[in-house]
Amino acid sequence: MVGYKNFSLCYDEIIGKRFNEVIREKFKEVSKKFKINFNEILDLGCGTGLFLKNFYGKNIKLVGIDQSFEMLFEGKKIKDFYGICFSFPPIPIKEKFSLIVCFYDTLNHILNSEKLRKTFKEVKNLLKENGFFIFDTNSLLAFKRIYSNPEPYIFEMEEGRIEIKSNYFEELLLSKVEITGKWKDISIKDEVYEKYWSEEEIQNCLKEAGFNFIKKEKWSLGKSFDKKPYKIFWIAKV
């Protein structure tokens, strides 16, 4: 995986806050439906820790892992959580959790199938009995519609202008995303890659790791985004 560097300066404003609003409501829905109780959360690919922030002051242990030091640094300026800078797998933790989450297509940033399978196995071993693993992945529609769009996505705000351009290499099921622009007079230039993993591949990873598969659903990100089902939302349990 390759993490964001100076895009971290504006990630929350461009993408993070909008997505956090959506995932917060989705998580409330599923946690109530499936009676998900937890005293600690591990967030894989936590970025600036926005999702963890939803649980401040609730006597819940909050731990996040992200390979981008810059993202963690931005998050630690205003958020109180235990952040670990590491490119997983492996996952450098020994304690167990009642809930592990992995949102905003973090698993699509894993480009190697062996590493993907290893991630699921390590997550399973880090969960307490009856613990939950909740995550999302990008659907094939996202790769064909969003990442194949020849026109860049442009975000203009008072602080600056950011352009996000993507290319989808269908034969490789791989996308390249380039972020350029200027934010508060600082030049922004980053690039990341994402790999499409089919629903069958994800379910095989869950089965191989020993999870009890509970539910998957095609998911739209709601009013703030295009309402097409660009994501798949997954719930699994030990």
Cα atoms in the Cβ-side hemisphere of radius 13 Å centred on 113: 12
164 in Cβ contact with 153 (< 8 Å): yes
Q: How many CA atoms lie within 13 A of 42 on its CB side?
A: 24
Q: Nearest 5°: CA angle at 154, between 138 and 140?
A: 15
* Whether the Cβ atoms of residue 44 and residue 123 lie closer than 8 Å to each other: yes
Residue 162's pLDDT band (cuts 50, 70, 90): very high
pLDDT for 30: 94
Domains in the chain: boundaries: 6-138+197-237, 143-192
Which whole number is the average pLDDT over 206-216?
95
Q: Which helix (H) or strand (E) holds 162?
A: strand 160-169
**Which CATH class, in words, describes the domain spanning 6-138+197-237?**
alpha beta
Q: What is the model's pLDDT at position 76?
A: 76
Number of H helices, E strands in the chain: 7, 11
Digit-coded pLDDT (tens) for 83-116: 999 999 999 999 999 999 999 999 999 999 999 9
Taking the model in full, what pTM does it have? 0.94
**CA dihedral of 216, 220, 223, 225, whole degrees rounded to 10:** 130
Averaged confidence pLDDT in the chain: 92
Residue 222 has pLDDT above 80, yes or no: no
**Angle between the 199-209 and 113-126 helix axes, to the nearest 10 degrees?**
40
Q: To the nearest whole percent, how much of the chain has pLDDT over 70?
A: 96
Token pair, residue 166, equals: 């993507």
pLDDT, tens digit, for every residue of 24-75? 999 999 999 999 999 999 999 999 999 999 998 899 999 999 999 999 988 8
pLDDT band at 225 (very low <50, low <70, confident <90, very high): low
Identify the three-state secondary structure at position 211.
Answer: coil
Inter-residue contact 75 to 48 (CB < 8 Å)? yes
pLDDT at position 31, please?
94
